Structure 1
C-alpha cells in the first residue's frame, strides 16, 4: 500500500491548523506501518522543510509549488498529478480535492470544513467558487471521505450528494505532550511579556467574522463588572482585514478598550502558558466542524465556555459551559458561571474529556481507512 498525502495546500510562511494536524498524524501513522506499506508526502521545495524526520517508510514527491502560489499549486494538483503520481506506483492519493483526472489511483478525501457553503463570507471569492464547483465532483469520485465530527457529516449531507458509506468519521485530537497542566503562577509570569497585567479571560482563534470575537466583546462589556478586575486577552491573527480593524474600534465604543488586550498571532506553543494562566477560555464561534482550541484549553486545565451550535457541544462532550453565540447576554452569563461556581468542575471534566482524544487513535483510524480502500483496489484487480 503506497499512500501519497497531499501537503501542498499549506503556505509554508503561514501554516494553518491543517499543517499541525499532519505534523502530528504522520509520525503516528509512520510508527504503525506494516511491511509493504509506505507514505509519500506530496510537498514543494519550500513545504518539504516543514516535514522532516518521519522515519524510513516516509518519502517525498516534490511538486513545484505549494500554497505560497495558490493558483499554480491548484493547477499542478490537477495537471501534474496524473503524470507524477503513477511514476511511484501510488495506490491512494489522500487529498482535499480530487484531481480532474485520477487514472491509476484511488482518492481518499479529507474534508475539514464546508465554509464555502456555510460561511461563504470567510472564503475569498475565487477560492469559494473553486470549492463550490469541485466538492460535488470530488465526493463522487472519492472512495472514502474522512470527516472529523457528526456536525460536519450533517453539513456535507445537506449540501452534497454523498453515498453514506463513504463518510468515515475520525475525530481529531490534542497534542498532550504540548497541551497539559502546568504551574499557573509560572504561566502568569510568562504571559506578562505580552502585556498581560491582571487575571484574564482568554480567546484564541483566527479573527474571521464567524469566530464571533465582536460578540465576545459585547458579552465582556456586560460581564466585566461581575467578573472583577480582569482583562480580556484576544490571541489570533487577523484573517479578514476589515473585520480585524473593526474590533479595537468596537472595544472603544463599548468603553472596554482599557481592559482588552489584542495580542495578535503567536506560535502555537506560546498559547500554552495563556491557557494555563487564564481564568476562563471563551470560544463563541458561530460555526465549527471540530473546534480544536476547546480541547487544547481543557488539556491545560482551563475551564471552557463555547457555543451550543454545530460541532462545539459534540467536541466539548458536556465538559464546557454552553451559550448562544447570537446572544452576548448568554455568553456573559456563561463566563460568569465558569469563572465562579462551576470553575473547579469544568477543570476536572475538561481534563477528562481532553484525555479521550489522542493523535495515536486518530492516526490508527486513518490508516484503517487507507487499508480498507487499498484492499478494495486489490480485490478489483483479481
Structure 2
C-alpha cells in the first residue's frame, strides 16, 4: 500500500481514552510506513499528556469558558482556523475521532478544502442541548467512511442511521503496561498515601456514564468489611459539564462518612500522567469499571496487562471482547453486586485466575493489528496530490 499522510483529529490533549487511542493508533501507523499526525486543540500550549512516537500538532485554541455548546463551537472554530488554507490541508486522509473534529472537517468539505473524511464513533452521547446533538449527528452523517471500536456501536449506526461502519477494535502497549513493578510503584503509593488496602481503582473521574455513584455506594459497603479499603478515582478531564453529577457523588460520600484526600478513604487524583498509570493499576487490587456506556473501555485492557483483576458491566461492549472468565461481570445498577464482585476479586484463587486470563486477553489486542484494520478504510477514502479539489 502506498504510504499515506493522515491527519488524525481528536478533541483534547488530555488523558482521555479517545485521545490515548489516537496517539497509539498514529504510532502504529507510523511503524507501518505511513505518516500519521495527531492534532488537538491546545489552549494551554503544553502539548499532549504524553510524549508520542508520532508527529503531533497542537492546534492554537482559546482558553475554555462559557457553556459546553460555546466551548464546542470555539473548538470547532479553532480547527477551522488551523486548516484554513490548502497548504494546511496537505494530507491524503482526514480522520476525526469526535464531533468537534468531525464538524470542522464537514465544514472544510463544504468549503472544498478537503474531499471527505473518516469518522471513528467511539460512542454516542445523549445531549439535552439540541445544538450539541445536531453537531454530533452531523459529524457522523457527513463522514465518507465510518469506523467503530466495538460491534455494538457499529450495529447502532446500522440500525439508527442505515450506514455501515468498520469495526477496528482497540489495543494495548505491552511494553508500557506490564505486571512487573518498577521504581514508579513506590512513588505512586507514597504520593497518594495508599495504605494496606484493599485498593479499588475507578478510572474516568466523577462522570455519570462511568457509573461513579454506584461505585461509591459499592465502596461504602466494602468498607464495612474492610475498614482500611481505599477508593482511587483517577482521571476526569472532560469538555462536558459533569458538575451536577459530581455534586450527587459528593453528597453520597458525605452521607457515607467517606473523606476525600491523599491517605483518606477516597482519593481523587485528577488526570494522571501515562508514565504513572501502570504503577497505579498495579497498586490497585481491582479495577471497578461497571460503566453505563463505553465505546470500548481502553482502561480494561491496560489494567489486565498490568495483572489487575477487572470488574465490568454485563453488557456490550465488554461482552464482545471479554470471555466470561476474563473479568467479573455485574449489573451496573446494582451497587451490592459491585461490592460483592470486589470482595470476590480479593480472594486469592479468584485473583490469580483473573490475573492469568487478563494477561492473555490483553496480549491478544495489539495496536499494530488495529492500525492494519484501518488501512483499507483509509485507502478507500484517500485522495492523491495529483487530484486536487481546491478551487
Normalised TM-score (structure 1): 0.80
Kindly provide the CA deviation profile for residues 166-196 of structure 1, in whole angstroms up to 9, marking residues without a partner as x.
x111111112222111239983563132121
Indicate the SS of the match to 2:315. coil
1:304 counterpart = 2:307? no
Which of 340, 351, 360 pairs up with 1:343?
351
Aligned partners of 2:92 and 2:384 also within 8 Å:
no
Return the offset for 1:65. Answer: 4.1
Query: Are the structure 2 counterparts of residues 63 and 333 from structure 1 closer, same or farther at C-alpha, using a change threshold of 3 Å?
Result: closer
| Distance in 1 between residues matched to 2:218 and 2:42, nearest whole Å | 46
Q: Which residue of 1 aligns with 2:382?
A: 374
1:231 counterpart = 2:227? no
Q: Summarize the alignment of residues 1-382 of structure 1 with structure 2, pairs less than 5 Å apart.
A: 2-7=4-9, 9-10=11-12, 12=13, 14-33=14-33, 38-39=35-36, 42=39, 49-50=47-48, 65=61, 70-75=72-77, 77=79, 81=83, 84-85=85-86, 90-96=91-97, 97=102, 98-100=105-107, 102=109, 103=112, 105-116=115-126, 120=127, 126-132=131-137, 134-135=138-139, 137-138=141-142, 142-162=143-163, 164=164, 167-183=165-181, 187=185, 190-199=188-197, 200-227=199-226, 229-237=228-236, 239=238, 240-257=242-259, 260-265=265-270, 266-318=272-324, 319-340=326-347, 341-374=349-382
Q: CA RMSD in A?
A: 3.5
Return the offset for 1:253. Answer: 1.1
| Distance in 2 between residues matched to 1:85 and 1:73, nearest whole Å | 20
| Distance in 1 between residues matched to 2:362 and 2:352, nearest whole Å | 15
Kindly provide the CA deviation profile for residues 13-43 of structure 1, in whole angstroms up to 9, marking residues without a partner as x.
x45333222222212212212xxx6445556
Query: Are the structure 2 counterparts of residues 129 and 345 from structure 1 closer, same or farther at C-alpha, using a change threshold of 3 Å?
Result: same
Indicate the SS of the match to 2:382. helix
Return the offset for 1:135. Answer: 4.0
| Unpaired stretches in structure 1, ≥5 consecutive residues | none
Query: Are the structure 2 counterparts of residues 212 and 66 from structure 1 closer, same or farther at C-alpha, using a change threshold of 3 Å?
Result: same
| Distance in 1 between residues matched to 2:259 and 2:346, nearest whole Å | 21
* Larger deviation, residues 83-92 vs 278-287: 83-92
Query: Are the structure 2 counterparts of residues 260 and 43 from structure 1 closer, same or farther at C-alpha, using a change threshold of 3 Å?
Result: closer
Aligned partners of 2:119 and 2:139 also within 8 Å:
no
Return the offset for 1:338. Answer: 1.4
| Distance in 1 between residues matched to 2:108 and 2:208, nearest whole Å | 36
Indicate the SS of the match to 1:5. strand
Return the offset for 1:2. Answer: 4.4
Kindly provide the CA deviation profile for residues 326-350 of structure 1, in whole angstroms up to 9, marking residues without a partner as x.
1112112211111114111000000
Aligned partners of 2:232 and 2:269 also within 8 Å:
no
Aligned partners of 2:41 and 2:61 also within 8 Å:
yes
Aligned partners of 2:305 and 2:362 also within 8 Å:
yes
Query: Are the structure 2 counterparts of residues 91 and 182 from structure 1 closer, same or farther at C-alpha, using a change threshold of 3 Å?
Result: closer
Indicate the SS of the match to 1:84. coil
Aligned partners of 1:208 and 1:238 also within 8 Å:
no
Give the number of aligned pairs.
359
Aligned partners of 2:60 and 2:82 also within 8 Å:
no
